[in-house]
Amino acid sequence: MTAYNPKRFLWSFFKQISPALLVVVAVAVAYVYLMRFIDHSLSWVPYVVVVLAFFKTIYFTFFTFRQVNKSIRLCHSFRQLLSVFGFLIVLIIFSFSADYTCLYAIDGTAFKGLTASANLGYIGHLFELTYFSVVTFASVGYGDIAPITIPARLISTIEIGQSFVMIIFGLSNINNIHINSKTQNL
């Protein structure tokens, strides 16, 4: 068994997650454009956010499947696999909070319960909607923040579906990792 090498681990980790980071940056640029330069009174603008969230979710799902399967095949360490999987979950949660923030910037009635940070602007809303994204991803659903409009409910539903797929996929592959590590030790 090889010794843990932090430099090699970080380089491999970055190589595995860089495509996902590029997708998040591209979507963030699109959201900045939507928030700054598009007339928010147009009825189709919130649905652009829904479509971007949907395609981003499809990409993240297949990207995660590929990365975890590749890590299992290449016999990376359990630590590296959990690091990649955990980082992707954090990235997904943050990307959904960006979806929600963009949607809220376009339509201030999209969510109920966002009053505490009214004077903090986008950063305050990003914080509150990151909290909402974590609660939605974890399927806790406290109810203090709730999606009201159809686009907000669609994106929340997409996040719940993404959460379900990621958790089921992650749990099913942990067993494969243990099976692979046991066969390597024989």
Specify the CATH number of the domain 16-36+43-179: 1.10.287.70
pLDDT over 60 at 178, yes or no: no
Q: Which two tokens stand for residue 168?
A: 């089921």
pLDDT, tens only, 126-163: 889 999 999 999 988 788 899 999 999 999 999 999 99
**String of DSSP letters for 81-146:** HHHHHHHHHHHHHHHHHHHHHHHHHH-TTSEES--TTTTTHHHHHHHHHHHHHHHHHTT---SSSE
pLDDT, tens only, 27-46: 778 877 877 777 767 788 89
- Report CA torsion sign: 79, 80, 82, 86: positive
Mean pLDDT for the chain overall: 80
